[in-house]
């Protein structure tokens, strides 16, 4: 018998709207391919159910099971790497009953969860040993995804880990030293650690016209799509850049360009409003969460989500290099969508349950 449904109405409305608009845009981006849209709609429904389901348990359950959750996720990631099918040169999927499932998406949840449960009772600031342990787990998770290869998701997972570490009170000294080190070694990273195509992408960003039919093509066409949308857009399903295939990857990375082309600046404003609304509401929930563990988890989740959105947008409008990074709620992909709902479900759970204070 259910006594109470734990639900934050603002979050619920916000993400429902985002998911609905997402399906709408995907329908246009996929040239009205009903199979794709039907599948995505199913994921939205499943996601909402999942969201409601994981909102209900007390947050302590997540804390207690976080090491197990991380362990299982990592095992799944490795199963995908060693036994999964190779698609487009990457091994990141597990096929189960005709559904493809991408366990690395779950790391965005299980890693912050684990780190928060590890750090929530540590003294401020986090000492060197704890920092080292945290970084070790972050590295393991990052590398397990990086080798698939999937740099975009890997970086996001690492970011989620570091965000928790930062919010938990990572010492400013450590942060200063790290930034300085990265700056000093950046030439070395540029020359030795980056693949030529990655260097190309960065280079293209600053000068896309240098290679309009090669690596600059995507960015140029994306900018044309967005720019030609104007204030009111070309109309739903009327985007010539989208429908005549000038715009690449319309269903995944560049889906924002589809929205911008067809709905114009108005559409962009609406989208940014929805994201900002969800972001600020969750920030409010984080600050007012019942304990340090919940604060860290909510903070880690929402900021990772925020950076994910911003990086995708900055990428398609040509502010940063192209990295494979989908737009949450919009890009095609079931696991990504489900993990977002899962994430907001956990956020809801952590922000709605009152702390039982023993006398």
Partner 1 sequence: MDFNERQLERQSFTQRSLLVTSLLVIFIVVILFRTFSLQISNFTEFDKASLNNRTYSVPVQPLRGKILDRNGEVISENIATFDLVTTPRDIKNVDEFLKKIENILDLDKDEIDLYIKNFNSKAFFNRELVLKKNLSEIEIARFEVRGFEHKEAFVGKRFRRVSRYDEIFSHVLGYTGGAGENNLDEQNRFRSNSWRDAVFSYANGLIEGKAGLEKTYNQSLTGTFGIKQFEVDARGRLVKELSYTPPINGENILTTLDIDAQKVAANQLGKRKGSIVAVDVETGGIVAIYSYPTFSVNKMANGISQSDYDDLINDPDKPFFDRSVAGRYPPASTIKPLMGIHALNRGQISWTTKINDPGFFELPEDGRIFRSWGEIAHGLINLNQALIRSSNTYFFDLAYNSGINELADDIEKFGFGSTVCMDCILEDEGLVPRPQWKMNNLNFGWFKGDTVNIGVGQGYISTTPIQLAHYTAVLANKGTKKPLFLNNSLSEKIQSSEIQLENFNQQDWSLLHKAMESVVESDYGTARRIRDQKDFPIAAKTGTGEIISLDSREEYERIREDQGLRDHAIIVAFAPVEKPKYAVSVIIENGESGGSVAGPVALRILKELLKE
* 274 lies in the site for partner 1, by CB under 8 A: no
Q: Which is nearer to partner 1, 59 or 103 (CB)?
A: 59
* 178 lies in the site for partner 1, by CB under 8 A: no
| Residues in contact with 242: Cβ distance below 8 Å, sequence separation at least 6, in sequence order | 28, 29, 225, 250, 257, 258, 261, 262
Q: How far apart are CA 143 and CA 162, in angstroms?
A: 15
* 310 lies in the site for partner 1, by CB under 8 A: yes
* 326 lies in the site for partner 1, by CB under 8 A: no
* 265 lies in the site for partner 1, by CB under 8 A: yes
Stretch that binds partner 1, among 36-44, 81-89, 142-150, 220-228 (CB under 8 A): 220-228
* 313 lies in the site for partner 1, by CB under 8 A: yes
As measured in angstroms, the least distance from the Cβ of 9 to partner 1 is: 21
* 280 lies in the site for partner 1, by CB under 8 A: yes
Task: For the beta carbon of residue 176, count every other beta carbon within 10 angstroms.
Answer: 10
Stretch that binds partner 1, among 99-107, 143-151, 304-312, 330-338 (CB under 8 A): 304-312
Whether the Cβ atoms of residue 346 and residue 297 lie closer than 8 Å to each other: yes
Choose, by CB under 8 A, the member of 65, 202, 236, 292 that binds partner 1. Answer: 292
* 42 lies in the site for partner 1, by CB under 8 A: no
Task: For the beta carbon of residue 166, count every other beta carbon within 10 angstroms.
Answer: 17
Stretch that binds partner 1, among 106-114, 146-154, 229-237, 349-357 (CB under 8 A): 229-237
Choose, by CB under 8 A, the member of 110, 144, 204, 241 that binds partner 1. Answer: 241
* 123 lies in the site for partner 1, by CB under 8 A: yes
Choose, by CB under 8 A, the member of 99, 235, 245, 355 that binds partner 1. Answer: 245
Choose, by CB under 8 A, the member of 51, 275, 329, 330 that binds partner 1. Answer: 275
| Token pair recorded at residue 298 | 């909510």
Q: How far apart are CA 304 and CA 205, in angstroms?
A: 24
* 166 lies in the site for partner 1, by CB under 8 A: yes
Q: Which is nearer to partner 1, 26 or 163 (CB)?
A: 163
As measured in angstroms, the least distance from the Cβ of 121 to partner 1 is: 7
* 227 lies in the site for partner 1, by CB under 8 A: yes
Choose, by CB under 8 A, the member of 268, 297, 342, 346 that binds partner 1. Answer: 268
Choose, by CB under 8 A, the member of 69, 260, 325, 346 that binds partner 1. Answer: 260
Choose, by CB under 8 A, the member of 128, 139, 182, 272 that binds partner 1. Answer: 272
* Number of chain residues interacting with partner 1 (CB under 8 A): 49
| Token pair recorded at residue 89 | 């040169």
Q: What is the 3-class SS of the chain, one letter each residue?
A: CCCCCCCCHHHHHHHHHHHHHHHHHHHHHCCCCHHHHHHHHHHHHHHHHHHHHHHCCCHHHHHHHHHHHHHHHHHHHHHHHHHCCCECCECCCEEECCEEECCHHHHHHHHHHHHHHHHCCCCCCECHHHHHHHHHHHHHHHHHHHCCCCHHHHHHHHHHHHHHHHHCCECHHHHHHHHHHHHHHHHHHHHHHCCHHHHHHHHHHHCHHHCCCCCCHHHHHHHHHHHHHCCCCCCCCCCHHHHCCCCCCCCCCCHHHHHHHHHHHHHHHHHHHHHHHHHHHHHHHHHCCCCHHHHHHHHHHHHHHHHHHHHHHHHHCCCCCCCCCCCCCCCCCHHHHHHHHHHHHHHHHHHHCCCCCCC
Q: Which is nearer to partner 1, 144 or 253 (CB)?
A: 253
As measured in angstroms, the least distance from the Cβ of 269 to partner 1 is: 8
As measured in angstroms, the least distance from the Cβ of 13 to partner 1 is: 20
Binding site for partner 1 (CB under 8 A): 121, 123-124, 163, 166-169, 221, 223-231, 240-241, 244-246, 260, 264-265, 268-269, 272, 275-276, 279-280, 283, 286-287, 292, 295-296, 299, 303, 306-307, 310, 313-314, 317-319
């Amino acid at each position: 018998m259910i006594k109470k449904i734990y639900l934050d109405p603002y979050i619920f409305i916000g993400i429902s709207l985002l998911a609905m608009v997402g399906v709408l845009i995907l329908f246009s981006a996929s040239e009205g391919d009903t199979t794709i849209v039907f599948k995505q709609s199913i994921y939205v429904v499943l996601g909402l159910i999942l969201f409601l389901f994981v909102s209900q348990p007390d947050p302590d359950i997540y804390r207690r099971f976080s090491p197990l959750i991380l362990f299982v996720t990592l095992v799944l990631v490795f199963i995908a790497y060693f036994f999964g099918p190779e698609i487009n040169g990457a091994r990141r999927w597990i096929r189960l009953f005709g559904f493809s499932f991408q366990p690395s998406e779950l790391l965005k949840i299980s890693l912050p969860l684990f780190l928060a449960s590890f750090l929530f009772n540590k003294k401020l600031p986090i000492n060197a040993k704890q920092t080292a342990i945290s970084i070790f787990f972050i590295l393991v998770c990052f590398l397990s995804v990086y080798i698939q290869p999937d740099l975009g998701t890997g970086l996001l997972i690492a970011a989620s880990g570091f965000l928790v570490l930062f919010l938990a009170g990572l010492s400013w000294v450590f942060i200063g030293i790290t930034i300085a080190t990265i700056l000093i070694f950046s030439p070395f990273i540029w020359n030795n650690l980056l693949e030529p195509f990655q260097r190309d992408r960065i280079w293209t960003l600053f000068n896309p016209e240098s290679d309009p039919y090669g690596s600059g093509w995507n960015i140029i066409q994306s900018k044309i799509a967005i720019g030609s949308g104007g204030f009111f857009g070309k109309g739903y399903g009327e985007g010539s850049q989208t429908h005549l295939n000038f715009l690449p990857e319309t269903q995944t990375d560049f889906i924002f360009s589809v929205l911008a082309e067809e709905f114009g600046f108005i559409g962009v404003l609406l989208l940014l409003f929805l994201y900002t609304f969800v972001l600020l509401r969750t920030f409010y929930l984080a600050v007012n969460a019942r304990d340090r563990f919940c604060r860290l988890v909510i903070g880690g989740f929402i900021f990772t989500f925020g950076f994910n959105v911003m990086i995708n947008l900055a990428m398609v409008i040509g502010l940063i290099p192209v990295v494979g990074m989908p737009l949450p709620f919009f890009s095609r992909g079931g696991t990504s969508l489900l993990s977002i709902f899962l994430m907001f479900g956990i956020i809801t759970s952590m922000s709605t349950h009152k702390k039982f204070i023993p006398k």
